[in-house]
Amino acid sequence: MAKIKFGTDGWRAVISEDFTFENTKIVAQAIADYVKKQKPKIRNKKSKLYGKKYALVVGYDTRFLSNRYAATVSSVLAANGIKVVLTDRPTPTPSVSFNIRYKEFIGGVMITASHNPARYNGIKYKGYFGGSVTNGVTDAIESRLYKSKIKFMDKKEALKKRLIKLENIIPLHLRSVKKYANMSLLKKSKLKILVDSMNGTGARFIEELLKDTNNKVTTINDRRDISFGGRAPEPNEKHLKPTAEIVKKGRFDVALATDGDSDRLGVILPDGEILSGHKVMTLLLLHLLEGRNLKGGVVQTICGTALIDKICKMYGLKTYETCVGFKYIAELIVKKDILLGGEETGGVAFKGWLPERDGILSALLILEMIAQRKKSLKKILEDIKKAYGVYVYKRYDVHYSRAQKKKLLAALKKMPFKEVLGKEIVNVKSFDGFKFIRSDGSWFMLRPSGTEPKLRIYSEAHSEKEALALIKFGKQFALSD
């Protein structure tokens, strides 16, 4: 088995190869050793957990054996004297994070590989603030791997001793989502909505949230399927094509898709167009700005869209750019006045909520925007195009070995391009991969994945033809001898 190594958001590995019960125990013991060195951040002395030095939430998704991995982690934590609230069913990651924040746990653990293919599983550690932790925390946990003898207590014994408590933590999260969303506005709208839960933790929660409204909601792929219907539970153009066909045939006003652990959102228009994560983030930003009159900074990763930069410039908003990984965005949300932070994959966090992505809340805010503007999403996007211009984003992933990554990074460090496809390179960003920005603002980027044997090739241009040409150029360069 390979040595356990944390990536951009916790540890992920292939089930039964490296993601085993033994390795799960090793990670859980390292988490326990880390937690016992921390001082609880108690903000409310009336909290039910006040005075209890250590308490963690442990949740899990719909993947193969996720419930048993979660029980294993909980048993190790309990044996180390750490009280655990273990979810009694597959649970969205934002539900875990919300309960950490609201009930003031010292932290939490989520068993999930999020949007990755079914053969993967993973362990994410969440901080007391209800979001992804920084490198400092993951490094501290990683440094404790293999250092201590593993302590383990049978789950039944831990339940008897009240070191583990089984609980459904989802209702608290959903009630709070309804408080954040404008439900009175949503009650008046009459949309025909398709929801694709991609066989993940999203289940029928969006439909349940809208049951007392005039909207008609149809949910598909809401049941647990450890193979996710043969696709990765990632709500993007590649994996939502069958859903797009259902949208067109069923004449839906909009389709909303949540990923495996429900922290990301995909959106499909009535004509079957699948929006990029950038466009989803743009819609949410404009809704907070224009629909809710909120202000604050905006955070994107290095592969973010220039469209949001343009919007922020026009509204006088401060922008931040981070490495890929939501932990970097979460860190800024905790420290600064941030209106919105998001990734190109459709994971977005909002002011007044959590430093955490939430696909379920994102879905309601998209519907809220449609209801408030009394326009279709297609018309809203046309208005955005007229106001800010055309921005077409593309991404291509290719299998890439460690040796190939090393060779590519060495070549890129020599800054091989002065111009690309007839346009001058005016800026190069190299703090997480290499992003080459051309004179007209279009760009392409080469970034080796931190969690998988893949190279990610990104582009954004002012036409689909140009965006695809930049992807082709990047692919040819990366795969050339």
Q: Of 114, 97, 90, which Cα lies nearest the Cα of 259?
A: 114
Query: Do 11-170 and 181-388 come out as alike in CATH topology?
Result: yes
| Cα–Cα distance for residue pair 396/388, rounded to 1 Å | 25
The continuous run of DSSP H or E covering 464 comes out as helix 464-479
Q: Per residue, what are the HEC states of 373-401?
A: HCCCHHHHHHHHHHHHCCCEEEEEEEECC
The continuous run of DSSP H or E covering 321 comes out as strand 319-322
Give the pLDDT band (50/70/90) at residue 50. Answer: very low
Is the distance from CB of 370 to CB of 210 less than 8 angstroms?
no
**What backbone phi and psi angles, to 5 degrees, belong to 447?**
-140, 115
Give the pLDDT band (50/70/90) at residue 1. Answer: low
DSSP code per residue over 145-167: TTTSPPP---HHHHHHTTSEEEE
Residue 48 has pLDDT above 60, yes or no: no
Residues 6+ apart with CB under 8 A from 110: 10, 58, 59, 60, 61, 93, 96, 123, 124, 126, 261
pLDDT at residue number 51: 43
Burial label, 163 (beta-carbon count in 10 A; 0-12, 13-18, 19+): buried
- What is the average per-residue pLDDT within 301-317? 96
**What backbone phi and psi angles, to 5 degrees, belong to 451?**
-120, -15
Q: Of 62, 74, 75, which Cα lies nearest the Cα of 113?
A: 62
**What pLDDT digit, counting tens, does each position of 328-365 carry?**
999 999 999 999 999 998 999 999 999 999 999 999 99
Residue 440 has pLDDT above 80, yes or no: yes
- What is the average per-residue pLDDT within 407-432? 93
Report field, pTM of the whole predicted structure over 0.85 = yes
| Cα–Cα distance for residue pair 407/478, rounded to 1 Å | 9
Residue 45 has pLDDT above 90, yes or no: no
Domain 11-170 fold: Alpha-D-Glucose-1,6-Bisphosphate; Chain A, domain 3 (3.40.120)
pLDDT at residue number 44: 57
Question: CATH top-level class for 392-479?
Answer: alpha beta
CA distance to 2, 39, 468, per residue, from 77 (Å): 24, 17, 49
β-pairing verdict for 192-196 and 164-167: unpaired
Query: Taking all residues of the chain, what is their mean pLDDT, rounded to a whole number?
Result: 94
**What pLDDT digit, counting tens, does each position of 140-172 carry?**
999 999 999 999 999 999 999 999 999 999 999
**What pLDDT digit, counting tens, does each position of 18-38 carry?**
999 999 999 999 999 999 998
Cβ of 379: how many Cβ atoms within 10 Å? Answer: 12
Burial label, 409 (beta-carbon count in 10 A; 0-12, 13-18, 19+): middle
Residue 71 has pLDDT above 60, yes or no: yes
β-pairing verdict for 83-87 and 55-60: parallel
Domain 181-388 fold: Alpha-D-Glucose-1,6-Bisphosphate; Chain A, domain 3 (3.40.120)
| Cα–Cα distance for residue pair 111/90, rounded to 1 Å | 10
| 48 vs 94, residue with greater confidence | 94
Domain segments of the chain: what residues? 11-170, 181-388, 392-479
Residues 6+ apart with CB under 8 A from 402: 453
Residue 2 has pLDDT above 80, yes or no: no
What angle (nearest 5°) sits at the alpha carbon of residue 168, between those of residues 163 and 174? 135
pLDDT at residue number 53: 55
For residue 349, the number of C-alpha atoms closer than 13 Å in the C-beta half-sphere is: 30
Q: Strand, coil or helix: what is 5?
A: coil
**What pLDDT digit, counting tens, does each position of 88-129 carry?**
999 999 999 999 999 989 999 999 999 999 999 999 999 999
What proportion of the chain, given as a percentage, has pLDDT over 90? 91
Give the pLDDT band (50/70/90) at residue 286. Answer: very high
